[in-house]
Amino acid sequence: MDFIYAVIPPQVLNQIFVGLSRTTILFIVSSGMSLILGVLRIPNVAHGSLYMIGAFMSFTISKAFGGGTTGFWMALVLVPVAVAILSLIVERGLFQFLYEREHLMLLLLTFACSLVFGDLVKLVWGAEYKSVPVPHMFQGFVPLFGGIPFPLYNMFLLIVGPVVAVALWLIVNKTKIGKIARAAAVDREMVGAVGINVSWVFAVVFMIGCLLAGLGGALVAPTVSVTLGMDHTLIMEAFLIVIIGGLGNIWGALLGALIFGLSQSLGILVWSQFGIIFPYLAVIIVLLFRPTGLLKSTW
């Protein structure tokens, strides 16, 4: 390890791991948005609101089960399912009738949905800050590079990220619904002509994408103050990640999240007062050289 420390100081290695744990949340939320964008061609601005709803639901479910480790695991299981059911209601009641409309109209419609969701959150949970406790099993730190303490919960996030990425790859590439969805994204009429109900395929894809938003909200809840407006920054970051990764490309979302998360984390180390500008500089640099994104866009 001494050779590695001579090249990369322990503080930098530790900060890279912090950035990777932040990348996990960004990837989970952005991949859901990218999936919806790639298959349904909907620029879903309400995706961030579903992430916020997931965080508030996590507070309620965690509290209902005592707020400890049991509450955390129950929230992690139930919140994504609840958000997916909510998204199915919206998709069946609204979006399924509008897939053929122009993208601008869909963008405005999802923006309107985000405003409605924001008001619903205020009505149900109020405007006060909520907090979700870190489960006992993930409290504390582990010594990493050079003995520098690293939060145990962030280590858990580093494990969750690859698990979600592999699961998403299996769903998209190895399941029947994934293959049909990819075909429908290219030619909806052709898939419909062989007797497949494309409308329900789109509904399932929309649910999976929104489920990931709920999962991101449940995972981030123990690390932040759960409050109204927490979706604003996230949705902006998610759109930038999807754009630099390649519109509708799930692996582009992973690459974009890595660039965004690491540049933010290392930027704080370089210039702590203005560390927040580094990920945006990275976005500008990427788009200067790759205006259509790093990987192939499905648009």
pLDDT tens for each residue of 116-152: 999 999 999 998 999 999 988 899 888 877 777 889 9
| pLDDT recorded at residue 148 | 79
Residue 99's pLDDT band, with cuts at 50, 70 and 90, is confident
0.85 exceeded by the pTM? yes
- Exposed/middle/buried for residue 257 (C-beta within 10 Å: 0-12, 13-18, 19+): buried
- Give dist(CA 257, CA 251) in Å, integer: 10
Q: Are 143 and 149 in contact (CB under 8 A)?
A: yes
Average pLDDT score over residue span 190-205: 88
- Give dist(CA 39, CA 14) in Å, integer: 37
In the predicted structure, residue 74 carries a pLDDT above the cut 90:
yes
- Give dist(CA 84, CA 274) in Å, integer: 37
Look-up: residue for tokens 């869909």? 106
Q: Dihedral (C-alpha) 109, 115, 119, 125: value to the nearest 10 degrees? A: 100
In the predicted structure, residue 299 carries a pLDDT above the cut 60:
no
Q: Are 163 and 214 in contact (CB under 8 A)?
A: no
Average pLDDT, the chain: 90
Average pLDDT score over residue span 44-49: 94
